[in-house]
Amino acid sequence: MTLRRLDTGEVTRIPGTEGGEQPFFSPDGRWIGFLGEKGGSSFLRKVPVDGGLVVDLGEPSEYPTGVSWGPDGRIYLGSWTGGIHWVPAEGGPAREITTVDRSREVGHRWCRAAQRPSPVVSGARLTGRSPTVRPKRL
């Protein structure tokens, strides 16, 4: 991955982010989080914007579809076939916060955390081909 500074236009490679995808920023803008896959396993990592070591945050059980870093110190992960999960920004196991109703849903995808003290996480719940968005207050 690369970083382009808006103040100077300088583009630099970010060491340790090879193979990284779906980059996202921490609410304070000091960290870049990203996903990736290696050897058939997914990973979630972060790296300081100003440079530094890459920090492993965990290994999601499936490759997430959409990631959002909330102001509450949680990183929210959408799922192609499951519910929305969250991981502490310091790392740790993923915890499920929504459950898919298999009788009418496929997965909770493309989650976004609202940037306020009590985030509302929304995700598309797919029912056949008709997506709907249902917010959930945490």
What DSSP line would sit under the chain, residue for residue? -EEE-TTT--EEE-TT-TT-EEEEE-TTSSEEEEEEEETTEEEEEEEETTS---EEEE--SS--S-EEE-TTSEEEE--SSS--EEEETT----EE-----TTT-S-EEEEEE-SSSS-EEEEEEEETTEEEEEEEE-
Domains of the chain (ranges; CATH) run: 2-137 (2.120.10.30)
d(CA 70, CA 73) in angstroms, rounded, equals 6
Can you tell me the mean pLDDT for 50-66? Answer: 85
- pTM of the full predicted structure? 0.77
% pLDDT > 70, the chain = 77
pLDDT value for 131 = 47
